[in-house]
């Protein structure tokens, strides 16, 4: 049993949480984190990484009245989730463990006054931690043994890395740092090199990241309006709860407004929402007051619910790993899920990369108000190759200014003839 690795109060927490076995990221992180090793972990949302860093933190607490651990998460919602999980564990301890949450939209003066005594664990957003640690110097982190940065790529994208750099600079040099991220972009590397001396890199490989209990469907959008196609799809699915992904905040706003105008119960999650509205939207989402959520990749990480039945990629993400992270929003807590993506001919190379990650697609189309299997994928390679040769030949044959009788037929023959020559030439080169 996994409980034997921990103090008694952690064993009790694990029992109450209903843990039967550790997830892969937990198996790799926990023993190394307990030994004090610095870690860079790449793992998807829903993989259990929050418990992976919290259990070792609680295991190593000395409860000496100083700040022993600081955990930073880029959004208020994510920080609140970590705070709630931490308290689920701490309540089993006979000794009081002082855990405090520092995010925007709270009583700043009261929180500063309360820092006459220091928390054992401080959890917060980059801006608020920077305010209390660096500007006010009231949250005394020079005693902390461990600094956790969750969703580091999100912090980088939102421009918080400089603030995190300054917060880390206030901590002691012999610091255990654990950095978790969905992806490890190059912009993170200077920060990691500065603060992590020979860290342990833990990465769940892409093919292992893809959930096996998700069905992946593809629907072609060529010659069809995506908005109308989406409405037809939603009417067929009638999902319990679906997250619809777009690639930009602008498209999220536009699509959510369009769906509302068609009578769908839609929430939207993106970075431009005012704090009050965003918090309200998250609360309503968790209370299952929406059937559909339109969201961007980054904003959706704040959604932590197990009841998503369908993920719809209105737009395919640019990064292959982000497809895995998006679709990982469904099929949680041992449930089954469906991921549906709109695609066109320009998406084929991207889809090939996903198939290399052992993601198996079923091609679908909407016919007579039903979602049925499509044969379009089987014709793909030949169709794309022939199409590209025709496009190349068409560009090479100059159009005449005067249109003569029979011109179109004659031109089509010339294009066909040249396309065949190009195809033969291409085959010879490939040999």
Identify any residues that bridge with 42 across adjacent strands, giving them in sequence order. 181, 203
DSSP alpha helix (H) spans, 262-319: 275-286, 297-300
pLDDT of residue 332: 76
> In this structure, are 181 and 49 located in the same domain?
yes
> In this structure, are 193 and 223 located in the same domain?
no
Higher-scoring residue by pLDDT: 289, 276: 289
Higher-scoring residue by pLDDT: 393, 92: 92
- Least Cα distance to 349 among 388, 310, 296 occurs for 388
CA distances from 415 to 191, 387, 421, 423, 428 (A): 55, 12, 10, 12, 20
Show the tokens assigned to 363.
């091609």
Q: Indicate the residue among 188, 204, 220 that finishes a domain.
A: 204
> In this structure, are 323 and 175 located in the same domain?
no
End-to-end CA distance of the chain: 57
Q: Which CATH number is 124's domain given? A: 3.40.50.300
Has residue 122 got a pLDDT over 90? yes
State the total domains in the chain: 3
> In this structure, are 220 and 352 located in the same domain?
yes
User: How would residue 52 be classed by pLDDT, with cut points 50, 70 and 90?
Assistant: very high
pLDDT of residue 414: 65
Q: What is the residue range of 409's domain?
A: 380-430
Q: What is the pTM of this model?
A: 0.65
Least trusted range by pLDDT, from 79-83, 273-277, 311-315 = 273-277
> In this structure, are 176 and 34 located in the same domain?
yes
Q: Are 215 and 262 in contact (CB under 8 A)?
A: no
Q: Indicate the residue among 341, 374, 407 that finishes a domain.
A: 374
> In this structure, are 296 and 231 located in the same domain?
yes
- Calculate the average pLDDT of the chain: 85
- Least Cα distance to 118 among 146, 139, 147 occurs for 139
Distance CA(203)–CA(25), nearest Å, equals: 8
Has residue 15 got a pLDDT over 70? yes
Q: Indicate the residue among 178, 204, 230 that finishes a domain.
A: 204
Has residue 35 got a pLDDT over 90? yes
pLDDT of residue 207: 43
> In this structure, are 184 and 293 located in the same domain?
no
- Mean pLDDT calculated for residue range 209-225: 82
pLDDT in tens, 54-78: 999 999 999 999 999 999 998 888 8
> In this structure, are 118 and 61 located in the same domain?
yes
Has residue 302 got a pLDDT over 70? no
> In this structure, are 28 and 172 located in the same domain?
yes
Has residue 412 got a pLDDT over 80? no
pLDDT in tens, 304-354: 677 899 999 999 988 887 888 889 889 876 788 999 999 998 899 999 999
> In this structure, are 181 and 272 located in the same domain?
no
**170-175: Cβ within 8 A, 24+ apart:** 170/133, 170/134, 170/137, 170/141, 170/142, 171/70, 171/141, 171/142, 171/144, 171/147, 172/142, 172/143, 172/144, 175/38, 175/144, 175/145, 175/146, 175/147
pLDDT in tens, 225-273: 899 999 999 999 999 999 999 998 899 999 999 999 999 999 998 877 7
> In this structure, are 166 and 254 located in the same domain?
no
pLDDT in tens, 176-212: 999 998 878 788 889 999 999 899 999 876 545 556 7
> In this structure, are 20 and 130 located in the same domain?
yes
């Amino acid at each position: 049993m996994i409980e034997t690795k921990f103090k008694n109060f952690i064993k009790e927490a694990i029992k109450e949480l209903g843990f039967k076995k550790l997830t892969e990221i937990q198996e790799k992180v926990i023993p190394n984190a307990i030994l004090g090793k610095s870690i860079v972990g790449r793992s998807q949302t829903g993989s259990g990484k929050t418990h992976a860093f919290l259990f070792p933190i609680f295991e190593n607490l000395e409860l000496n009245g100083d700040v022993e651990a600081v955990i930073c998460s880029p959004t208020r919602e994510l920080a609140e989730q970590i705070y709630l999980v931490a308290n689920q564990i701490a309540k089993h301890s006979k000794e009081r463990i002082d855990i405090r949450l520092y995010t925007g939209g709270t009583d700043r003066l009261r929180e500063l006054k309360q820092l006459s005594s220091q928390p054992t664990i401080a959890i917060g957003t980059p801006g608020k931690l920077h305010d209390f640690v660096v500007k006010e110097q009231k949250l005394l982190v020079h005693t902390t043994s461990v600094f956790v940065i969750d969703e580091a790529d999100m912090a980088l994208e939102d421009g918080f890395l400089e603030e995190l750099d300054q917060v880390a600079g206030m901590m002691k040099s012999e610091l255990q740092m654990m950095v978790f991220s969905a992806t490890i972009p190059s912009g993170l590397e200077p920060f990691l090199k500065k603060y992590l001396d020979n860290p342990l890199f833990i990465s769940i490989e892409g093919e292992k990241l893809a959930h096996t209990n998700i069905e992946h469907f593809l629907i072609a959008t060529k010659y069809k309006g995506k908005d109308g196609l989406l409405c037809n799809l939603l009417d067929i699915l009638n999902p319990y709860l679906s997250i619809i992904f777009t690639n930009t905040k602008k498209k999220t706003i536009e699509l959510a407004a369009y769906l509302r105008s068609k009578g769908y119960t839609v929430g939207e999650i993106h970075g431009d929402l005012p704090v009050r509205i965003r918090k309200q939207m998250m609360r309503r989402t968790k209370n299952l007051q929406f059937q559909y959520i339109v969201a961007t990749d980054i904003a959706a990480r704040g959604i932590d619910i197990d009841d998503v039945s369908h993920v719809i990629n209105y737009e395919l993400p640019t990064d292959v790993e982000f497809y895995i992270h998006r679709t990982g929003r469904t099929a949680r807590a041992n449930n089954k899920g469906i991921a549906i993506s709109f695609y066109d001919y320009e998406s084929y190379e991207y889809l090939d990369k996903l198939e290399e990650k052992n993601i198996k697609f079923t091609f679908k189309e909407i016919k007579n108000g039903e979602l049925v299997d499509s044969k379009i994928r089987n014709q793909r390679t030949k169709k794309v190759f022939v199409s590209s040769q025709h496009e190349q030949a068409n560009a090479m044959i100059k159009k005449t200014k005067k249109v003569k009788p029979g011109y179109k037929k004659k031109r089509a023959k010339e294009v066909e003839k040249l396309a065949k020559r190009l195809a033969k030439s291409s085959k010879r080169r490939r040999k």
